[in-house]
Amino acid sequence: MAAASYLPSEDQFLCSICLDLFTDPVTTSCGHNFCKTCITEHWDTSDRCQCPMCKEAFTTRPDLRVNTFISEMVAQFRQSAQQKASSSSSEQQVFKPGEVPCDVCTETKLKALKSCLVCLTSYCETHLEPHLTASSLKRHQLIDPVENLEDRMCPKHDKPLELFCKTDQTCVCMLCTVLDHKMHDVVPLKEGYEGQKAALGKKEDRIQEMIQKKQLKIEEIKHSVDLSEKEADREKAEGVQVFTALKESVERNLNEFIQTIEGKQNMRMKRAEDFIKELEQEISQLKKRSSEAEYLSRSEDHLHFLQGFQSLNIQHPSPTKDWTKVSIPPSSYEGTVVRAVVQLEETFSKEMKKLLEADVRRVQKYAVDVTLDPDTAHPKLILSDDGKQVSDGDVIKILPDNPERISKCTCVLGKQSFSSGRFYFEVQVKRKTDWDLGVARESINRKEVITLSPQGGFWTICLRNGNEYKADDAPLVLLSLKSRPQKVGVFVDYEEGLVSFYDVDAAALIYSFTGCSFTEKLYPYFYPGAKCGRKNSAPLIISPVT
């Protein structure tokens, strides 16, 4: 009966020192087998000469010889394993960039299936088999394949990093817990992993939330750009329409002006031509009579001469026109150009009024509800219950001197603040001789005397002495207005750095601060002026925008 083929398992041919297949296997007197190099180096570095397996001591170092039987068995096993590996390698995945390769494969690198934290080696399916079958290797810790396994060893103690120090938020080995991290909160890697993973999940949620907010901001900015582009196109279209109308008006007035001048000149030329033609006819008749008279003067026939003389009627010639009073004075064009320019100015004024009316309607779309803030009002001011009116009082009230209150100037701020976008409000200034209106930044000095200027944080216009309008710019700008405003509109474009004031009823632009740089909140600013008996007693009234 033929003997059954028998292929021993790989762990029978593993050196207990290097944990790899025997190379030049030798047998000690106690019967244990080792690689010749492994046992020699072990005894060279050890104080005692003993068997690493059973600890049997030898008085003298044994004379080691290669065990040919085991050597042949190892060779057969290695050949069989290589054949098996070559036959299965086609079934296994070849290592690709970005994957972890097997550290044992020498020719075609296969994809690693597991990494060993004890051996610090990654294995493909074939080379992993000893860790799954050999009892001495089954105790090794296997993980999913990773690169740089040395990073998983403690650099200080050369031990696996298998714990997590929550105190220092770092991975440690067993020796670290009794030395450098003693009394620290140390947990197994799995527990630390789960805790950190949960924290990472929350952090990831926050990151996703931040991403969403930023994406929404991007959409908001894109939407703003689209709106701005549409507004720019609309503004350009309106501007082209207006300037085209003005250009056509200029050309029309110019043509009318030229036609007027040329018409007058043509009339004079026609009149001159008529006079010249009439004079030429008279000259022709006179020349004819002169020729007849000359011919008659040469006649010697007495009868013929007398008869001809009577027919010429020289003594009573035919009457001619008295040309002494006839003249063509030079054309007078005084006032023609002026009248043309005046007419053009009237056209411009009409177009400008249309533009300003459209501008007022446009800014009124940004109307906001503004109320007065009593916490900022000077103690001398009187505010209405609805927070819409303010006037100067005769008595300084005792009020808390809170940080918001303005102490040295009888003015008040609005409750509402603005730090972006556009806003507009209207204030009735009817029957007043003194007032200030505009906006102020949040950081103005509320406890000192106020100086109105953009450098001081104020963008305002004012009325003094009933008819002196000024813009509190640097330097001060005197304003020449065609009419006294009864209601003033205040418009602010925060990003554009623009503050404009309008005469609402006249649809006229009073003044604009341009190129401003706003970096903080802006508040509506109101100064009703001193009461002066009853001369300036009317309140400033925040009016609803209609």
395-408 residue pLDDT tens: 888 899 899 999 98
Per residue in 376-424, pLDDT (tens digit) is 999 999 999 999 999 998 788 889 989 999 998 999 999 999 999 999 9
Average pLDDT over residues 505-532: 94
Pair of tokens at residue 242:
């207006």
pLDDT at 90 over 60: no
Residue at token pair 């710019």: 473
Per residue in 43-64, pLDDT (tens digit) is 888 888 888 888 888 888 888 8
Provide the 3-class DSSP secondary structure of residue 1: coil
What pLDDT is recorded for position 1? 36
pLDDT-above-90 percentage for the chain:
37
At 537, the pLDDT band (50, 70, 90 cuts) reads: very high
- The Cα angle at residue 204 between residues 199 and 209, in degrees rounded to 5: 130
pLDDT at 7 over 90: no
CA pair distance 121, 117, nearest whole angstrom: 7
Average pLDDT over residues 105-112: 85
Helix (H) / strand (E) containing 305: helix 302-312
What pLDDT is recorded for position 454? 96
Per residue in 422-469, pLDDT (tens digit) is 999 999 999 999 999 999 999 999 999 899 999 999 999 999 999 999
pTM of the model: 0.52
pLDDT at 494 over 70: yes
CA pair distance 509, 356, nearest whole angstrom: 7
pLDDT at 169 over 70: yes
Dihedral in degrees, nearest 10, Cα atoms 413, 416, 420, 422? -90
CA pair distance 378, 507, nearest whole angstrom: 33
Give the HSE-up count for residue 267: Cα atoms under 13 Å, Cβ half-sphere: 9
Mean pLDDT of the chain: 86
CA pair distance 478, 466, nearest whole angstrom: 14
- The set of residues, in sequence order, having a beta carbon less than 8 Å from that of 355 and lying 6+ positions away, is 242
At 3, the pLDDT band (50, 70, 90 cuts) reads: very low
Pair of tokens at residue 355:
């533009």
CA pair distance 9, 77, nearest whole angstrom: 9
Q: Where do runs of H (alpha helix) occur along 46-173?
A: 68-89, 125-133
Give the HSE-up count for residue 417: Cα atoms under 13 Å, Cβ half-sphere: 11
CA pair distance 78, 127, nearest whole angstrom: 12
Pair of tokens at residue 145:
């394949």
Buried b (16+ CB within 10 A) or exposed e, 95-131: beeeebbbbbbeeebbbbbbbbbebebbbbbbbbbbb
At 4, the pLDDT band (50, 70, 90 cuts) reads: very low
Provide the 3-class DSSP secondary structure of residue 387: coil
SS (HEC) of 245-289: HHHHHHHHHHHHHHHHHHHHHHHHHHHHHHHHHHHHHHHHHHHHH
